[in-house]
Amino acid sequence: MIVEVTDTARDKILALRDGEGLPDLHLGLRITGVGTQGYIYETSFLRAEDVGSTDLIEDHGGLPVAIAIDSVENLRGAVLDLSGDGSGPGLVMRNPNVPSPTLAGGDLGDLELTGTTEEKVQMLLTERINPAIASHGGVANLIRVEDTIAHLELGGGCQGCGLAAVTLRQGIERAILDAIPEIEEVVDVTDHSMGTNPFYA
């Protein structure tokens, strides 16, 4: 096994998957970038036909996990577990692999964030975050910036998805906080009660 999924994390993920009403969904795992605190992860539910042909599939007690092939080596030995009291999604990846120090500070490539804080957040969403989550039908929209707080709305495959909170915290929020120091908090203002499994409809 490349990744270990603890029993408590598996049970939580299976419960979230049951809530989607599609029992054949895989848990997709991939590394989407590097922040100041380490790798940035994307988790998502995938239909069997949406799993990449090169993805590595592992079975964790009835939970099929699809690991993107380009993330396998950097996820080897990692543990997916619950954090906190387990009342929310609260998933955390404990990864013994450390990114190259030259990548620390955000994997922005040649992207230079300029303008107001709001413009910087919008640019990061447009150029880096949305292309990364678009492969699963998701999109993140900036609603407003108030002081040091960015308010985001998740749409497409992220709206109503049981793993949306994990995607926001592990990936989107971390990328924004790493790249834009003026932002200290990211708040999800999505109405996740709208629609039923919009990505799969």
Domain count, the chain: 1
Q: Residue 104 domain-assigned?
A: yes
CA atoms within 13 A on the CB side of 108: 22
34 in any annotated domain: yes
Which backbone phi and psi does 127 adopt, to 5 degrees? -90, -25
Answer yes or no: is 83 within a domain.
yes
Q: List the domain range (segments joined by +) for residue 63.
A: 3-188
Residue from 133, 193, 125 nearest 161 by CA: 193
Neighbours of 199 (CB within 10 A): 21
Q: Percent of the chain at pLDDT above 90?
A: 35
How much is the average pLDDT of 116-124? 94
Tokens (6 digits) for 104: 């620390």
DSSP bridge partners of 27: 45, 65
With cut-offs at 50, 70 and 90, classify the pLDDT of residue 201.
very low
Rounded distance, CA 113 to CA 127, Å?
10
Question: Using alpha carbons only, what angle is made at residue 140 by residues 139 and 142, rounded to the nearest 5 degrees?
Answer: 145
174: CATH: 2.60.300.12
Neighbouring C-beta atoms of residue 22, cutoff 10 Å: 13
Q: Does the global pTM surpass 0.75?
A: no
Distances, alpha carbon 131 to alpha carbons 53, 77, 94, in Å: 20, 28, 25
Average pLDDT value for the chain = 79
Q: Is 58 a member of any domain?
A: yes
In a domain, 195, yes or no: no
**Which of 86-90, 104-108, 182-186 ranks highest by mean pLDDT?**
182-186
Asked if residue 121 belongs to a domain, the reply is yes
Residue 197 lies in a domain: no
pLDDT at 169: 57
In a domain, 177, yes or no: yes
